[in-house]
Amino acid sequence: MHNKLDIPKSHGENAWDIIGIGSYIATVIFLITIWRTLPEQVPLHMGLTGHVDDWAAKESLLLLPAISLVLFILFHLLEKYPRIHNYPDRLNDQNMAAFYLNSRKMVNKLKNICVLVFCFIDMEFSMIGLGWIDDGNGWTMLIILSAVFYPIVTGMMNQRKIK
């Protein structure tokens, strides 16, 4: 186990948290607002082309905010304790703060991007259910995967630069 360092959150981390929490709250408010107008069946799954291939009860839309909240809390706890993250052998007292900050920023971005992805999916499924849009987009999966892997790849690249 590594030493505990008290490194204040960066402006970027605070901004990501505001975006993630704000999107979550906006999605929940949106669901509350449209709940009565939603049909009993809403999209549950889309294929890679963006075409809806499974439907479920509208209550299934509540699953994504619930998963988002659980993920947010778990990632937040992981973010809060960067000393338990996995580090290379070259970690030492001189570079520990840089490793901790880089790892914490990566987890922060990943946490908030996961929330954004679930919010986006929930909004898209709701809009399809309401008939506001016909189908999803074939690029959605590629964009989601890129968004999720972005903080991991950039975090690993930044970690390599730490001396």
Per-domain boundaries in the chain: 11-161
30 burial (CB, 10 Å; 0-12 / 13-18 / 19+) is middle
Query: What residues pair up with 46 in beta bridges, in sequence order?
Result: 52
DSSP H helices, 131-161, are: 140-161
Q: Quickly state the pLDDT bin for 2 (edges 50, 70, 90).
A: low
**How much is the pLDDT for 71?**
95
Give 61-120 pLDDT, tens digit per residue.
999 999 999 999 999 999 998 888 888 888 998 999 999 999 999 999 999 999 999 999
For the record, the structure tokens of 37 come out as: 């107008």
Give 5-51 pLDDT, tens digit per residue.
888 899 999 999 999 999 999 999 999 999 999 999 999 998 888 88
**How much is the pLDDT for 19?**
97
**How much is the pLDDT for 1?**
53
Closest by CA to 100, choosing from 77, 82, 79, 80, is: 82
**How much is the pLDDT for 158?**
93
> Helices then strands (H, E): number in the chain?
4, 2
Query: Parallel, antiparallel, or unpaired: how do β-strands 41-46 and 52-57 relate?
Result: antiparallel
Q: Tokens 């505001």, residue?
A: 18
Identity of residue 119 = C
Task: Write the CA distances from 47 to 16, 42, 54, 119, integer angstroms.
Answer: 29, 15, 9, 18
**Average pLDDT of the segment spanning 117-134:** 93
